[in-house]
Each structure stands twice: as structure tokens, then as C-alpha cells.
């Protein structure tokens, strides 16, 4: 089956006065139709920039310097802005972290949604209204008909995020990229939205890339997980495999530092040091300075190794080291 | 109130009166009320009584809007309570004018980027309080600051640099050093690891564990992250809409939560256990009510699977249900705690969303 | 390490913009010659004994009886215009900067204190400030100058009164944003005294917008002062500032002796435009940016 999305060696650099910031430096993955990919990483790992790059939302001083993004058979890198705009929102949609940024505070929900609809389709007012009610009900907003004339500030944070997801669904896109959509929300609201997204994705068959720093959230939703570090994917594979049998020491380190995995009161195993500055990445494996398994071999860049249904970049993978 | 309470809150309430807009007054004129516009009061904290023993770490858990941050600030002395009082070793921490007089309670804030004055060098930020209160002299300040910086795991030379030169985790260490430089007896931490990355979180949690051991600190740890709280705290208090709904030693709270909200909250958090492949969780039905318009009776009644008629009319008081455990629930405290059935799965939402305009919590304009 | 301090970085970025660097250099030159006027100027224009009436109203480039060339000509009393401009520049700058500094301190303090105290005091102070802002500055300055009378004091009072409101409003807005930040809460929770928190924590962080307002207001003050002097309400004719010089030369404009008004006017223009350009660059640089 041809993948819905095929990303090969994507690299996005930011050319600042202080030098070239390699936010994304050679990211490759693919996504099948209906699949959910969890893109996990800490701040500075490049996960958000990856999402933005897929949509072509990188502005100067950032620039996609190389790579290919094939979506539904079209090459997105280098595409004209006009053609990109016809894809964005229609075939490929994004949900952002902060719903207050997505929703215009001076427009009613109906107005915003109809603007989004009419960007790609000409519809009668009744048809617009009907479609809006349809997607709002789909994302779990009760009594959608009367909500349409409300303003964003009349909704709670969780509701606003649901509206943002509904807007993304308006044109039945085949792929939605969600950039930490529940991070800013309360725990219980997070849980609600996660469940709804899970059911939604299964029902409609939309593919989803869920970007997050929280392994637990992502694992409840994703079919595959890709772990990013300093602009690269260091490990990816089916969720169960990555969580039960991580190959890369960073993945293992992330899992170990979760409080739920240590006896209360004991010191948590933690990864020493910090993520390197993207302006000044070390030679070879960028995780080596913090890795307990590093040796001389790690001064050269580890290549992508495929094992079972997953892949990793490491000279000393866990469980497979000779 | 037990006799070994070190820091105690006695029936503390904190209400904010939202300023009435001129336009609302005009609107009120046209809706039968004359010129008096309805006054809106936010009940951030309502009749909270809790205590922390010396050397104990109490966790304060809840979602946004439950009032835990406000309660933390009242306990630190940043905000005066609207009613009730806060006592340290039996003595009030505020004077009659509403100014804090006891320097033995200090706070570590949530946002490491905003809690340090960007114009001050780190050394000055840490030394300022101790100098003003006579804990060190201008001559000895450098050494004093260096000592605290080393204790939180930073190099003493950091004192000459500005906050923007440090990462989030390092800034949080500086904030902890600043709080500790005042040699407090009680440290109140308001979500200190919430804005940090997972791997840095682990480092800071370990730092807290270490400092607690070395300095025998008494701590109040406010957080929405149940996993972190479980790891650090001896006892946990759960807040919902301004009130404490359950208070219990950590282990028994997580193993056998009693209050329906606590149970639902614990069940709704995706947890990754070693033996599981994917995280399991069950969301709570309904929406958080607004602190502007708290429901009558028990604030949780609209989302509770065990709701009884009395829950709609009477606010349940916090009552002991077992050794060292308290809960505020009519149903749970009525009968035998162990026979309460598990609440069923998510129901249909019954609350309507509220207006959550940003509220200016800076000043008590009562 | 120059780059480490905020000021060092600021200067480096400033120097990268050629236009504002040139403007800054020009202003610096003007200020320097004004400061060193007594030594640089060929003639002391206040020394009535050195004036040669026969050389009055001579065009630029005229070799005068005093033995030196009047590069910019002479005015109606035979004063060397170049010297008169230099001394006038010095006076203009002195008065404007003094008034500006007083307005800055007064306005900033009022604004920050109002923001911190809140409640009725804040409302009272800010309503007075608002009232003042709605008055045209020139009108207010005219009224005050007319009431207080001619002379340096009157002029300074008028300028301060016309300007402090801008500083107060800016400081108030900035202080309101700062007072809800956590570092202020942290300072209050130590506890540090209110004075310490206001003047050593809140005020320094409000300086960025205040400095921008200050650079713009200096130019404003200079042009206000020139206007008042032009109208005869400012300094006495024995101490002519640039505005007075322009006014003095006005009757001669149509009779062909343009230089008596034009040259002071050009100097005034260059000074004000230079300060504005510097102010623009300062404003752009002090814009809040994302810092990670």
C-alpha cells in the first residue's frame, strides 16, 4: 500500500546572526492511511518545526534546506504557495497548541468556520451551517446549533480546542497534524479529548500525527511512535515495541525518568546534562555526551538501522549490542 | 487542628471581587435592577482548613480553577486571606494591615522564565532578601550566594550572569536557591516542574528529595501532576473548586481513593506502567464549573455517579473517614468506605461550558 | 566580554544600522560643539563690546572687521551668526534636557507608583494624566509660559508640565504589565518593602518603553522650546536660543537676508531629525523579543 505521507531526509535550518540553527536535520518517516503517528521529543528536539515544515509554514530566517515530502503523490517541498494553499486545510490540516491563537476572538464560531469552508468550496449558507453543526457534533460539543453564534471567549479551553479540531475536520482531510493540542489543558479535559480523537480517527479513517512531549499521552493514542532528539529521529516503531523494548538509550532514559516507574521517595534515574544547543551540535551522535553507553565509535554519525518493524540510530542499541 | 501542626490554615477563604464595568451598570439599568449591577465574586478558596507537620511534605492537587495556586499564595503571605488566618507555630504570618511579617515561609514559582527579574544578575537576585533581613552582610554576600548555588547543583560563578543566559531547568534551580537563601522553615512550591522537560523534571525532583533530606524542610507541593506528587509527598490534599475534598497519606490515597472526584481524577490520567503496552485511562464526564458561579451543595454533584438528593443542597464538610484520612462527601462518609462501588464509565456531559475570562488576581479589590 | 551585558549587545546592534549611526554621530557633533561653544565659536555673541554694528546683516562668507570670516553671515546686531547658533544650540539643549529629565523622573515615578498602589489613588492620578494628555502640548505650554512669565524658570515649568504626562502614561502601562509578573510576587513574598519592589524591581523593567519615549520627547521638547521662544514667550532676548534667533531673522526673510533665519532653522531641523532617527532605532531595538 502506498504511504499517505512519505518524508525523506527533511532538513529545516534557521539562519540567525549567531549561525545556522539546525532545528530539523534529516528526518525520514512514512505514514499509512488511517495510521496515528506519535512524534515525541522535548523542547528543542525539532518536533514542532517538523510539523510546520510539512505544512510549508516555515518563514525566514528559517528555510527547508533539503528533503522531500510526498503527500498523496504530490511533492510538497518547492510547491508553489498557491498550490500549497489549496492543499492546506483541505487535504492536510493542523491543530495548534494554543486554541486562543487559532480562534479569532472577534469572530463568531460560525463565521470562522464558514471562512475556513469557503476557502476551498463554494457552499450555500444552509449547507455551511449544516456542515458546521455536523463537525461540531463529531468533536463532542453538545447542542452545536446554538453554539455557532457564540464567540471563542464564551467557551472553556477544552471546548475551544475541540472547535479547533472541528475546523481541521471541515474538509475531511486525509491527514491532521496536531501540535501538542492538549498540553495547555487540564488533565481531565486532556483525557476527554484524547478519547474523542481516538474514536474519531478510527471512525473517519483520518491519519494523525500527534506531536507531544508526553510519552504517556501519545502511547494511548498512537499506532507508531517516533522519538526525536536534537533535530533527528533517534528511534521509531510500533508503540508497544518502542515502550516495552526501547533500543535507543534516550528513549530508555525518558521512560526511566517518569515518576510512575520508580518507587516513591527514591531518587529518579535521570539523563544527566541538557540537550545540546542546535547551533553547536557535537560531532557524530548528538546524544553521545549524555549517554552512558557512548564510546569512540559514537564520534561518527550512527546510520539508520531497521529492526523488526522499527528503526533506530545508535551504535550501541539496547538489547542488540554485541 | 492537631497539636503538632507546624503550618496551619484555619478556615481560610479567598474571594476576589471583579470590578464592575460602567457598561454593566448601564445594562443593569435596563434589566429591572436599577443602577446596581450584579457584583461578581470569584470564590477562589472556600473555607479551607489544613495543616502541615514539621518536616512533612504535603501535596496539593487539583485542576486549574480549583484554587490551589491561590491557596499557596495565601499560605506564603503574598495574598491576604478574605477570612480565616494562616498560622506558623501558632502565630499569624500576616499583620493587621495585611502585610507579611514572617519570613520563614518562602515560595518557588511555576514559571522559571518569569520568576527571576531579567535585569538583575543571579547573585543579586539571591542575595537581595537575605541582605534586607540581616541573614548576611554585604561583605559576606558573595560567599553566601556561592554556597547556595553549589547546594542546588550550580557553579558559584553563575552569580555574575543574567537569568536569560540559563536554561529553564537551571533557572528553576536558581529560583530554589533564592527561596532557600532566606533560610525558610516552610517551602511552598507552586507547580515547580510543570514547565520543564521530562528529563529536567527528573533532575529537579531529585534535587527536592535531596534538599528535603539535607535541610529537613517542611514543604507544600502544589501540582496538577499526580505522578510527581506521589513521588515526593507524604500526604496529599485534593482540591475541587476552592474546597478540599479529600486529604490522606499518599500511599492510601493512590491505592484506595475515597472521594468520587479523586477516584475519577486518578482514573483519567494516562499512566504508563512497566507491564503495560499502552496507557490506560478513563475521562471524567462533564466540564469544570466556573469559580464565578459555583454549583449549590457539593460542587462535584453534576459530574458524580454517586449523587444523592442531599448533594444538591448541602455542602459536604470535610470529615474523618479513617485514621489520618478525611473526605468531603455525603455518600462516602455516610456508610462504610470500603463498600462504595467504583463509579461507572464516562457519562454524557451535563454541564455547559463557562466563560473563562482572564481574572486579575493581583489585587484584592474588596 | 562586551556581548554579555545587555547594554553591550544593545550598542553593537545599534551600530549595525548605518542611518541611525550617522544620525547619532551628527547629533553627537552638534552636542559637542554646543558644549564647547565658548572655545569653538569665533565670537562671544553676548559680549556687546565685540559687536561691530557696521557689519550687521552681512551675507555668509563676509570677512568682518574683527579679522575673521563670518561663515554664516551676521545678524541684525552684527553678531556672528555661527557663534550665535552655537551658543543658542547650547541654551536650547540645556533647557530642553533639564525639562525633559525632570518630566521623566516626575512622570515615571507617578506612573509606576499609581500602577502599584492601585485603587482610587491610581484612578485619580491617571485621570489627571489623561486630562493633561488631551490638551495640546503647545497650548498648555503657552498658557503656562504666559502665566509664569518669561525666563528660564517659566519655560522649564511649561515644558515639564507639557511632557510629564507622556512619561506617566507609558510608565503606568508598563508597570501594570510588570506588577502581575512572578518576579514581583517573589520580591513581595520575601518580604521586601514596597519601596524596594517598586523602585528596584518594577521601575527598571519599565525603562525600555520609557527610554523610547524619552528620546522622542527630547526632540519634542526642543521644538516646543523653539516655538515658545519664537513666539517671544521663552527665554529673554539677551540669551537667544535657536527659536529666538529664527524669530529675530524673520522680518528679513523677504528682503533677501535669508541667512539670519535659515541657518538656525537648518541646525534645528538637523538636530530634531537626528534625534528622531536615533529614537526610532532605539525603539526598534527595545521592542520585546522572544528569548528562549
Dist. CA C235–CA C98, nearest whole Å = 14
CB within 8 Å: C196 and B132: yes
How many B×C Cβ pairs under 8 Å? Answer: 68
Q: Please tell me the predicted confidence (pLDDT) of residue B355.
A: 29
CB A278 within 8 A of CB A209: no
Tens-digit pLDDT profile for residues B28-55: 677 655 666 667 888 899 999 999 999 9
CB B226 within 8 A of CB B61: yes
Q: Please tell me the predicted confidence (pLDDT) of residue C180.
A: 85
Task: For A245, name the nearest residue in chain B, comparing CA atoms only.
Answer: B277
Counting the structural domains of chain C, the total is: 1
CATH number, domain of C71, equals 1.10.3720.10
CB within 8 Å: C6 and B162: yes
Chains meeting C at 3+ CB pairs closer than 8 A? B
Q: Which of B63, B251, B346 sits opposite A186 (nearest CB)?
A: B63
| A235: β partners | A227, A312
Extents of the domains making up chain A: 5-91+204-313
Q: Please tell me the predicted confidence (pLDDT) of residue B253.
A: 93
Q: Which of A154, A189, A213 sits opposite B198 (nearest CB)?
A: A213
CB B101 within 8 A of CB B20: no
List of E strands, C159-201: none
The chain-wide mean pLDDT, for chain B, equals 83
Residue C181 in any domain: the answer is yes
Q: Give the other-Cβ count within 10 Å of C16's Cβ.
A: 11
Q: Which of A154, A219, A260 sits opposite B227 (nearest CB)?
A: A260
Cβ partners under 8 Å of residue B97, min gap 6: none
Q: Which of B64, B277, B287 sits opposite A239 (nearest CB)?
A: B277
Q: Please tell me the predicted confidence (pLDDT) of residue B278.
A: 57
CB A253 within 8 A of CB A68: no
The x, y and z cell numbers of residue B150, run together, are: 553549589
Q: What is the DSSP string of A249-312?
A: HHHHHHHHTSGGGS-TTSPPP---S-PPPTTSPPSS-TTGGG-TT--GGGGSPPPEEEETTEEE
Domain that holds residue C79: 19-285
Residues on C contacting B at a C-beta cutoff of 8 Å: 4, 6, 118-119, 179-183, 185-193, 196, 201, 204-205, 291
Whether A93 has a pLDDT exceeding 70, the answer reads: yes
Residue C5 in any domain: the answer is no
Residue A6 in 3-state DSSP? strand
- Strands in B243-249's sheet, in edge-to-edge order, are B105-108, B186-190, B218-223, B57-61, B235-240, B243-249, B325-327, B319-322
Average pLDDT on A232-256 reads 91
Q: Which residue has the higher pLDDT, B271 or A47?
A: A47
CB C87 within 8 A of CB C45: yes
CB within 8 Å: B279 and A191: no
Is this prediction's pTM over 0.90? Answer: no
Tens-digit pLDDT profile for residues B132-160: 999 999 999 999 999 999 999 999 998 99
CB C25 within 8 A of CB C60: no
Q: Please tell me the predicted confidence (pLDDT) of residue B32.
A: 58
CATH 3.40.50.300 fits domain A5-91+204-313: yes
Dist. CA B344–CA C2, nearest whole Å = 65
pLDDT tens digits for chain C (292 residues)?
A: 444 677 777 788 888 888 888 999 999 999 998 888 888 777 777 777 777 777 777 777 777 776 777 777 877 777 788 888 888 888 888 888 999 999 999 999 999 999 988 888 899 999 999 998 888 888 888 888 788 877 778 888 888 988 999 999 999 999 999 988 899 999 988 888 888 998 889 988 888 889 888 888 888 888 888 888 888 777 777 778 888 888 888 888 888 878 888 888 899 999 999 998 988 888 787 765 533 2
The x, y and z cell numbers of residue A7, run together, are: 518524508
Tens-digit pLDDT profile for residues A150-178: 888 888 888 889 999 999 999 989 999 99
b/e map A73-107, b = 16+ CB within 10 Å: eeebbebeeeebeebbbbbbbbbbbbbeebbeeee
CB B288 within 8 A of CB B295: no
Q: Please tell me the predicted confidence (pLDDT) of residue B73.
A: 92
CB within 8 Å: A268 and B198: no
Residues in chain B predicted with pLDDT less than 50, given as ranges, are 1, 336-366
b/e map A222-249, b = 16+ CB within 10 Å: bbbbbbbbbbbbbbbbbbebbbebbbbb
Amino acid at each position: 500500500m502506498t504511504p499517505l505521507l512519505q518524508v525523506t531526509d527533511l532538513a529545516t535550518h534557521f539562519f540567525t546572526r549567531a549561525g545556522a540553527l539546525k532545528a530539523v536535520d534529516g528526518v525520514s518517516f512514512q505514514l499509512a492511511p488511517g495510521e496515528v503517528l506519535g512524534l515525541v521529543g522535548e523542547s528543542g528536539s525539532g518536533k514542532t518545526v517538523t510539523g510546520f515544515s510539512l505544512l510549508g509554514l516555515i518563514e525566514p530566517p528559517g528555510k527547508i534546506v533539503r528533503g522531500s515530502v510526498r503527500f498523496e503523490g504530490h511533492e510538497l517541498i518547492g510547491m508553489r504557495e498557491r498550490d500549497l494553499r489549496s492543499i492546506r486545510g483541505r487535504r492536510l490540516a493542523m491543530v495548534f497548541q494554543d486554541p486562543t491563537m487559532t480562534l479569532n476572538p472577534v469572530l463568531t464560531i460560525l463565521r470562522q468556520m464558514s471562512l475556513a469552508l469557503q476557502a476551498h468550496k463554494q457552499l450555500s449558507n444552509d449547507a455551511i451551517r449544516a456542515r458546521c453543526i455536523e463537525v461540531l457534533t463529531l468533536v463532542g460539543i453538545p447542542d452545536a446549533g446554538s453554539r455557532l453564534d457564540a464567540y471563542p471567549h464564551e467557551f472553556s479551553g477544552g471546548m475551544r480546542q475541540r472547535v479547533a479540531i472541528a475546523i481541521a475536520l471541515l474538509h475531511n482531510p486525509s491527514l491532521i497534524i496536531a501540535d501538542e493540542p492538549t498540553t495547555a489543558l487540564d488533565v481531565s479535559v486532556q483525557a476527554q479529548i484524547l478519547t474523542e480523537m481516538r474514536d474519531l480517527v478510527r471512525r473517519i479513517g483520518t491519519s494523525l500525527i500527534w506531536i507531544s512531549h508526553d510519552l504517556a499521552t501519545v502511547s494511548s493514542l498512537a499506532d507508531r511512535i517516533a522519538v526525536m532528539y536534537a533535530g533527528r529521529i533517534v528511534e521509531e516503531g510500533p508503540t508497544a515495541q518502542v515502550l516495552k523494548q526501547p533500543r535507543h538509550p534516550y528513549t530508555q532514559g525518558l521512560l526511566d525518568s517518569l515518576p510512575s516507574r520508580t518507587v516513591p521517595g527514591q531518587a529518579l534515574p535521570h539523563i544527566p546534562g541538557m540537550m545540546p544547543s542546535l547551533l553547536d551540535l557535537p560531532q557524530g551522535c548528538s546524544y553521545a555526551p549524555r549517554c552512558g553507553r557512548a564510546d569512540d565509535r559514537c564520534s561518527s554519525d550512527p546510520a539508520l538501522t531497521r529492526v523488526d518493524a522499527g528503526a533506530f540510530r545508535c551504535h550501541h542499541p539496547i538489547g542488540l549490542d554485541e | 487542628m492537631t497539636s503538632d501542626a507546624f503550618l496551619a490554615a484555619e478556615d481560610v477563604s479567598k474571594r476576589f471581587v471583579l470590578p464592575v464595568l460602567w457598561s454593566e451598570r448601564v445594562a443593569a439599568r435596563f434589566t429591572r435592577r436599577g443602577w446596581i449591577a450584579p457584583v461578581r465574586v470569584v470564590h477562589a478558596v472556600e473555607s479551607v482548613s489544613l495543616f502541615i507537620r514539621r518536616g512533612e511534605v504535603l501535596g496539593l492537587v487539583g485542576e486549574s480553577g480549583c484554587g490551589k495556586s491561590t491557596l499557596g499564595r495565601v499560605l506564603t503571605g503574598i495574598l491576604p486571606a478574605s477570612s480565616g488566618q494562616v498560622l506558623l507555630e501558632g502565630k499569624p504570618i500576616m499583620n493587621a494591615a495585611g502585610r507579611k511579617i514572617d519570613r520563614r515561609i518562602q515560595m518557588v514559582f511555576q514559571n522559571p522564565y518569569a520568576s527571576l527579574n531579567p535585569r538583575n544578575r543571579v547573585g543579586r537576585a539571591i542575595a537581595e532578601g537575605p541582605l534586607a533581613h540581616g541573614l548576611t552582610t554585604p561583605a559576606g554576600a558573595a560567599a553566601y550566594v556561592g554556597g547556595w548555588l553549589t547546594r542546588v547543583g550550580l557553579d558559584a560563578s553563575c552569580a555574575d550572569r543574567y537569568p536569560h543566559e540559563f536554561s529553564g531547568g537551571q533557572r528553576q534551580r536558581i529560583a530554589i536557591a533564592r527561596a532557600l537563601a532566606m533560610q525558610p522553615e516552610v517551602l511552598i512550591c507552586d507547580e515547580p516542574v510543570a514547565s520543564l522537560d521530562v528529563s529536567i523534571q527528573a533532575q529537579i525532583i531529585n534535587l527536592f528529595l535531596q534538599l528535603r533530606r539535607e535541610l529537613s524542610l517542611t514543604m507544600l507541593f502544589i501540582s496538577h501532576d499526580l505522578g510527581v506528587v506521589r513521588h515526593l509527598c507524604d500526604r496529599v490534599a485534593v482540591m475541587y473548586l476552592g474546597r478540599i475534598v479529600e486529604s490522606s497519606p499518599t500511599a492510601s490515597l493512590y491505592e484506595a481513593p475515597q472521594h468520587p472526584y479523586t477516584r475519577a481524577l486518578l482514573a483519567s490520567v494516562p499512566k504508563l506502567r512497566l507491564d503495560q503496552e499502552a496507557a490506560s485511562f478513563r475521562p471524567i464526564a462533564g466540564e469544570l464549573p466556573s469559580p464565578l458561579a459555583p454549583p449549590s451543595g457539593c460542587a462535584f454533584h453534576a459530574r458524580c455517579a454517586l449523587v444523592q438528593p442531599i448533594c444538591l443542597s448541602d455542602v459536604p464538610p470535610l470529615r474523618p473517614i479513617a485514621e489520618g484520612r478525611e473526605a468531603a462527601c455525603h455518600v462516602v462518609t455516610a456508610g462504610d468506605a470500603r463498600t462504595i462501588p467504583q463509579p461507572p464509565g464516562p457519562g454524557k456531559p451535563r454541564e455547559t461550558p463557562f466563560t473563562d475570562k482572564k481574572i486579575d488576581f493581583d489585587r484584592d479589590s474588596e | 566580554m562586551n556581548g554579555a551585558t545587555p547594554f553591550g549587545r544593545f550598542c553593537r546592534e545599534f551600530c549595525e544600522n548605518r542611518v541611525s549611526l550617522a544620525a547619532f554621530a551628527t547629533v553627537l557633533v552638534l552636542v559637542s560643539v554646543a558644549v564647547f561653544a565658548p572655545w569653538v565659536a569665533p565670537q562671544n555673541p553676548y559680549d556687546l563690546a565685540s559687536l561691530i554694528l557696521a557689519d550687521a546683516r552681512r551675507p555668509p562668507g563676509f570677512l568682518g572687521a574683527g579679522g575673521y570670516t563670518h561663515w554664516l553671515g551676521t545678524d541684525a546686531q552684527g553678531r556672528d551668526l555661527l557663534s550665535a547658533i552655537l551658543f543658542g544650540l547650547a541654551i536650547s539643549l540645556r533647557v530642553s534636557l533639564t525639562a525633559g529629565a525632570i518630566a521623566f523622573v516626575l512622570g515615571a515615578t507617578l506612573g509606576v507608583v499609581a500602577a502599584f498602589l492601585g485603587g482610587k489613588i491610581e484612578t485619580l492620578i491617571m485621570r489627571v494624566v489623561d486630562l493633561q494628555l488631551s490638551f495640546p502640548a503647545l497650548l498648555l505650554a503657552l498658557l503656562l509660559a504666559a502665566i509664569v512669565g518669561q525666563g528660564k524658570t517659566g519655560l522649564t515649568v511649561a515644558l515639564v508640565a507639557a511632557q510629564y504626562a507622556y512619561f506617566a502614561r507609558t510608565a503606568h502601562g508598563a508597570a501594570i504589565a510588570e506588577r502581575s509578573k512572578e518576579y514581583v510576587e517573589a520580591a513581595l513574598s520575601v518580604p521586601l518593602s514596597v519601596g524596594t519592589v517598586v523602585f528596584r524591581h518594577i521601575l527598571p523593567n519599565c525603562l525600555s518603553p520609557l527610554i523610547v519615549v524619552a528620546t522622542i520627547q527630547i526632540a519634542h521638547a526642543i521644538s516646543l522650546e523653539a516655538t515658545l521662544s519664537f513666539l517671544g514667550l521663552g527665554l529673554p532676548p539677551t540669551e537667544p536660543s535657536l527659536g529666538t534667533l529664527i524669530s529675530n531673522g524673520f522680518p528679513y526673510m523677504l528682503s533677501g537676508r535669508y541667512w539670519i533665519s535659515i541657518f538656525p532653522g537648518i541646525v534645528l531641523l538637523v538636530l530634531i531629525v537626528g534625534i528622531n532617527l536615533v529614537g526610532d532605532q532605539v525603539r526598534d531595538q527595545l521592542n520585546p523579543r522572544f528569548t528562549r
